[in-house]
Amino acid sequence: MALLVFLSLSSIFIFIFFFILSQKRKVAAPPGPPSLPLVGNLHQLHHSAPHRSLWQLAQRYGPFMSLRLAAVQTVVVSSARVAKEILKTHDLNFATRPAFVGLRKLSYNGLDLGFAPYGPCWRELKKLCIVHLFSANRVQSFRSVREDEVAQMLRKLSEREASGTVVNLTEVLMSFTSSLICIIAFGKKYVGQYEEEVVGKGKRRSRLQVLLNEAQALLTEFFFSDYFPLLGWVDGLTGKMRRLEKTFKELDAFYERVIFEHMDSAMAENGDDEKEVQDIIDIFLQLLRDDSLSFHLTLDHIKAVLMNIFIAGTDPPSATIVWAMTALLKNGEVMRKVQGEVRSLFGEKDFINEDDIERLPYLKAVVKETLRLFPPSPLLLPREAIERCSVEGYEIEAKTVVYVNAWGIARDPENWEKAEEFCPERFVGSEMELKGKEFEALPFGSGRRMCPAKHMGMVNVELALANLVHTFDWEVGPGSDREEMLDTEVKPGITMHKKSDLYVVAKKRIT
Ligand code: HEM
């Protein structure tokens, strides 16, 4: 009997002890909205614009907010101060990425730059890519490629103008950035070598373009395996796993084919005929032969980084130029001012080159203002806590997923006057570079996981935009609803694309 009483009392004490402990932990996490059983707060996220719903929730629960997305403990950062804590003070502890199913597969199980877990291998790979692929000298080596591709885009637009057709500028810009990244990464435009497929009302895309869009979509696709691990089998039933496998296999075969073509031509040339412009595969093949590398670079690492470059090099730059043109069409005064700047300095010229860009402070301010209001990755890329740690007096458990709401922070009236207005003047004469040092606007992220290609991205956008506003006068296409054309609704996906394509008429300027 005594033993029974003793056991019952001890069980009650143990229960009370763990109950108090769990309550303490609950209190120690950042505040957040109440959650439902099983789904947690999943239902509170807007499908295509989660950054907007998270920003609204943050107005109520604060700039450091906990959410439970089914089984995934999450925190959301919505102020410059907390972003600095996470991305600078505690950067090392938040330098890894969650192993979500889509990210893991498309990163060759974590061998890439963008989604690999933090560790010695990723560190070496990032160093190597920064030095060999994305340095200022390397970006400069692609100058002629960039200028040729912009000139080609202008020619295409001139032909359409001559035939009086309305132009889908979104498609023109996607095709420009994907051609450009194909030449930079693979040495030639493979897009045109693939058969075209019908992808919607009157739209045709090359298979390679379709695969690229599919990979982009799969990176943010909802997989049961990520949020309800016990229901992972549902992903098999819905066909998502098959879609992921198929897209991965086709892209893998494409990268392999291009790499082997490079190996064959290197052997045929016997190494004595250096190419005028080395593409990214050439550089990787050289590195593969380098015995002094501090880690074992494999073919899968190369394919994984090519996957990053193909997706990240196409989408964020094209989305940024579309947003810039949308904002300029909406704000006629800013359009006149930026055209005035370019044309008054270079009115005699047919083409604005990269040296000219350095003399265009207002154009540069337009690009920065676009990146402030329309960061292509509004929630950056997800981070994950490596170990339990304390931030702003709250306890963050290991494996908590962290989203930084860069979109919301850059519209925070605490940091920006007339925050919602498109006003490039705020950057004229300002020292702000928006390259990871200022936490009030973080279009390229910050810290160890920030974008390694920020310089390349910026140059591509500035050159294309300068030439578009220099060469043409722009109007919304006749027959399109101006309101709808210039709205700021977005498509779902890892990159924030404008929802409706931008249909415009481009008229050559009168010289
Ligand atoms: C307008 C252009 C671009 C913007 C706004 C942009 C933005 C970003 C952002 C926000 C991140 C996540 C940073 C973080 O988690 O803190 C990122 C990562 C990355 N970006 Fe970019 N990007 C651009 C262009 C490019 C280009 C052209 C490339 C390659 C050719 C590229 C390659 C990458 C890679 C590999 C990562 C992953 C880095 C890592 O996890 O360590 N980006 N980018």
Is 423 among the annotated ligand-binding positions? no
Q: Specify if 58 maps to a domain.
A: yes
Residue 208: per-residue pLDDT: 86
Of 138, 444, 449, the one to substitute when testing ligand 1's pocket (max ligand atoms within 8 A of C-beta) is: 444
Of 405, 438, 451, the one to substitute when testing ligand 1's pocket (max ligand atoms within 8 A of C-beta) is: 451
Q: Specify if 8 maps to a domain.
A: no
Q: Which residues contact 153 (CB under 8 A, 6 or more apart)?
A: 172, 173, 175, 176, 464, 467
Q: Specify if 132 maps to a domain.
A: yes
Centroid of ligand 1 to alpha carbon of 450 (angstroms): 7
Centroid of ligand 1 to alpha carbon of 82 (angstroms): 21
Nearest residue (by CA) to ligand 1, atom 24, is 457
Q: Specify if 300 maps to a domain.
A: yes
> Atom of ligand 1 at shortest distance to CA of 448?
41
> How many other β-carbons are positioned within 10 Å of the β-carbon of residue 289?
10
Q: Specify if 60 maps to a domain.
A: yes
Centroid of ligand 1 to alpha carbon of 311 (angstroms): 10
Q: Specify if 5 maps to a domain.
A: no
> How many other β-carbons are positioned within 10 Å of the β-carbon of residue 42?
17
Amino acid at the residue 485 = M
Centroid of ligand 1 to alpha carbon of 116 (angstroms): 14
Residue 51: per-residue pLDDT: 96
Residues at CB less than 6 angstroms from ligand 1:
113-114, 126, 308-309, 312-313, 316-317, 320, 376-377, 380-381, 443-446, 449-453, 456-457, 461
Nearest residue (by CA) to ligand 1, atom 33, is 451
Residue 161: per-residue pLDDT: 81
Nearest residue (by CA) to ligand 1, atom 21, is 451
Query: What is residue 117's DSSP assignment?
Result: P
Centroid of ligand 1 to alpha carbon of 285 (angstroms): 23
Q: Specify if 286 maps to a domain.
A: yes
Centroid of ligand 1 to alpha carbon of 312 (angstroms): 6
Domain that holds residue 337: 27-268+277-508
Residues facing residue 401 across a β-bridge: 74, 384
Q: Which tens digit of pLDDT belongs to each residue from 214-272?
A: 999 999 899 999 999 999 999 999 999 999 999 999 999 999 999 999 998 877 766 55
Phi-psi region of 309 (alpha: psi -120 to 50; beta: other; left: phi over 0): alpha
Nearest residue (by CA) to ligand 1, atom 40, is 114
Q: What is the DSSP string of 329-365?
A: HH-HHHHHHHHHHHHHHHTT-S---HHHHTT-HHHHH
Do 499 and 187 touch, CB atoms closer than 8 A? no
CATH at residue 469 = 1.10.630.10
> Atom of ligand 1 at shortest distance to CA of 133?
30
Residues facing residue 198 across a β-bridge: 204
Residues facing residue 204 across a β-bridge: 198
Distance CA 137, CA 158 (A): 32
Q: Specify if 12 maps to a domain.
A: no
Q: Which tens digit of pLDDT belongs to each residue from 431-470?
A: 999 999 999 999 999 999 999 999 999 999 999 999 999 9
Centroid of ligand 1 to alpha carbon of 340 (angstroms): 32
Nearest residue (by CA) to ligand 1, atom 17, is 451
Distance CA 198, CA 205 (A): 7
Tally of structural domains, the chain: 1
pTM (2 d.p.): 0.91
Q: Which of these, 350, 389, 447, lies nearest to 154 by C-alpha position?
A: 350
Do 46 and 52 touch, CB atoms closer than 8 A? yes
SS (H, E, C) 258-279: HHHHHHHHHHHHCCCCCCCCCC
Q: What is the mean pLDDT of each run of 10 residues along the chain (511 residues)?
A: 57 52 63 96 89 96 97 98 98 98 96 96 95 96 96 94 86 94 91 64 76 91 96 96 97 95 82 74 92 89 96 95 97 97 95 97 98 97 97 97 98 96 97 94 98 97 98 88 86 91 91 74
> Atom of ligand 1 at shortest distance to CA of 97?
40
Residue 3: per-residue pLDDT: 55
Distance CA 200, CA 501 (A): 13
With a threshold of 0.95, tell me whether the complex ipTM lies above it.
Answer: yes
Residue 181, judged by CB atoms within 10 A of its CB (0-12, 13-18, 19+), counts as: buried
Q: Which residues contact 436 (CB under 8 A, 6 or more apart)?
A: 442, 444, 445, 446, 447, 450, 454
